[in-house]
Amino acid sequence: MHIKSLKLLVLAVTASLALGGCGVFGDKIDETKTWSASKLYAEAKDEMSNGGYEKAIQYYEKLESRFPFGTYAQQAQMDTAYAYYKQGDQAQALAAVERFIKLHPNHPNVDYMYYLRGLINFNDQLGILNFIARQDITERDPKASRDSFDAFKQLVTQFPDSKYTPDALLRMKYLVNALAQYDVHVARYYMRRGAYLAAANRAQSAIKEYPDAPANEEALFILVKAYNAMGMNDLRDDANRVFVKNFPDSSYASGVDKNKSSWWKFW
């Protein structure tokens, strides 16, 4: 055979194999193509149980795409949000939660989605406590804490009888303490730098916004010291009277550092 003709034949065979064998050598065959909704859901749940969140999400998305109506699709949407949450993808988890609430506001389990929205932000805000222990607290925005509190508050308000409400109430109490502690740390930061007015304002903020938080003992003490440093004697004396009345046995006045206590570790 002529060399030129042989080359053409080889090229033709190669092209034929490339086109005819793309299902084998090219794109992978989708094993889920013939699966029912129940099969897809069961496989996704198995992946979830084994920590295969990325694979589970893929199955849930296929399920919703192929079977968009019915209980399996709705459950897949809920489970997708949870899978993203477990995977540590906060943005995707929150987006999935918001989408479900918007699509199914009257779903019998929508209370769980409000609870999950709170949990997603709650776990993000835990970094505040590590931040208090290791870094400058003024560098972190406690927005996630406030978002978490608002989500739990919405759950408690709209679904007071939900099985998730008792836990949400506990977490709300925790968040109030954490936010107050945040303000106190910021106030202490300003005190160390001689920004006494800023310190007084931040201490007042903690006292007004979180009146029952444990951190308010130190907030009042900082307020007294800030007013004293600015020469505002009348305000100092008023703040001191409130401080002594509410915390007659406080150890702050004696110079004992109570910041080593771990009130927040009860969780």
What integer pLDDT is reported at residue 257 of this predicted model? Answer: 47
Q: Where are the domains of the chain?
A: 33-96
Mean pLDDT, residues 104-109 taken together: 94
3-state secondary structure 86-137: HHCCHHHHHHHHHHHHHHCCCCCCHHHHHHHHHHHHHHHHCHHHHHHHHCCH
Query: Worst-scoring range by mean pLDDT, 121-125, 225-229, 240-244?
Result: 121-125
Asked: is 33-96 a CATH 1.25.40 domain? The reply is: yes
Q: Confidence band (pLDDT; 50, 70, 90) for 116? A: very high
What integer pLDDT is reported at residue 70 of this predicted model? Answer: 83
Tens of pLDDT, residues 63-85: 999 998 888 999 999 999 999 99
Prediction pTM value: 0.70
101 or 27, greater pLDDT: 101
Please, is 61 exposed, middle or buried when counting C-beta atoms within 10 Å of its C-beta (0-12, 13-18, 19+)? middle
